[in-house]
């Protein structure tokens, strides 16, 4: 069964949204999720930048490909893989909407830099209570969920000057291993009724 969650060319066609289905990153094959992340020459270049000895075998299912990596790769490399997938998708969208293309070397560096920034922010936060004058500052660290549970962390950023916002979530298991990631940008602001 094909995954039609991402609006790739094949998914849009099945939903009766007609446009050129040829992959805009390589221009050689129709865009499917499997093609975009595994067989596209742009994706191959990104995976080789990430790891020179990356095995680029034929992939039948994106789900099984990700599952194999989840079982075989260390957490740090799996996090990089997720970020490179996100960067490939972002670059595809930049090509679609802005006709902008990012070199695979720059795209992978950007993905790794984003991951490192995210890790730094999450690792710098630690349990620490200090009294400064009359006020106390408490910084709380991320804690593992109980055994057998998952934990979802959600973050939102707003850019008032450009009238846009970004949000994302990450799900980790009781060993701290990433099980899922989602990030999105939107124009304007979504405010709750109480705002």
The answer on 166 and 117 residing in a single domain is no
Contact 186, 158 (CB under 8 A): no
**Is the residue at 193 inside a domain?**
no
Task: Give the whole-number percent of the chain exceeding pLDDT 90.
Answer: 11
Alpha-carbon span 195 to 192, nearest angstrom: 5
The answer on 109 and 33 residing in a single domain is yes
pLDDT at 69 over 90: no
Residue 76's pLDDT band (boundaries 50, 70, 90)? Answer: confident
Is pTM, for the whole model, over 0.75?
Answer: no
**Is the residue at 120 inside a domain?**
yes
Task: At 96, give phi and psi (nearest 5°).
Answer: -65, -50
Mean pLDDT, to the nearest integer, of 17-26?
81
Work out how many domains the chain is built from and give that number. 2
pLDDT at 87 over 90: yes
| pLDDT per residue as tens digits for the range 35-53 | 888 889 999 999 999 988 7
The answer on 154 and 111 residing in a single domain is no
The reported pLDDT for the residue numbered 192 is 45
Neighbours of 111 (CB within 10 A): 25
Strands 135-139 and 128-132, by their bridges, are: antiparallel
Residue identified by tokens 């902008």 is 100
Contact 34, 56 (CB under 8 A): no
The reported pLDDT for the residue numbered 64 is 83
For 58, the domain range is 9-124
| pLDDT per residue as tens digits for the range 135-193 | 544 555 678 888 898 888 888 777 777 778 887 888 888 888 888 888 777 777 555 44
The answer on 22 and 81 residing in a single domain is yes
Return the ∠ at Cα 174 (arms to 5 and 167), rounded to 5°: 40
The answer on 42 and 109 residing in a single domain is yes
The answer on 104 and 62 residing in a single domain is yes
**Is the residue at 1 inside a domain?**
no
């Amino acid at each position: 069964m094909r995954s039609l969650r991402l609006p790739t060319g094949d998914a849009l066609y099945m939903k009766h949204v007609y446009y050129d289905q040829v992959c805009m990153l390589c221009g050689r094959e129709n865009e499917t999720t499997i093609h975009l992340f595994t067989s596209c020459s742009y994706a191959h270049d990104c995976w080789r930048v990430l790891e020179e000895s990356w095995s680029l075998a034929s992939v039948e299912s994106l789900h099984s490909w990700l599952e194999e990596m989840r079982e075989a790769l260390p957490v740090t490399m799996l996090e990089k893989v997720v970020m490179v997938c996100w960067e490939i998708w972002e670059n595809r969208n930049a090509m679609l909407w802005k006709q902008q293309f990012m070199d695979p070397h720059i795209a992978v560096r950007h993905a790794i830099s984003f991951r490192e920034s995210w890790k730094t922010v999450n690792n710098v936060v630690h349990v620490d209570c200090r009294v400064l004058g009359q006020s106390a500052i408490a910084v709380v660290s991320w804690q593992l969920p109980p055994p057998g549970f998952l934990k979802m962390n959600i973050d939102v950023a707003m850019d008032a000057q450009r009238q846009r916002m970004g949000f994302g979530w990450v799900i980790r298991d009781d060993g701290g291993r990433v099980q899922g990631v989602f990030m999105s940008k939107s124009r304007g602001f979504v405010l709750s009724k109480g705002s």
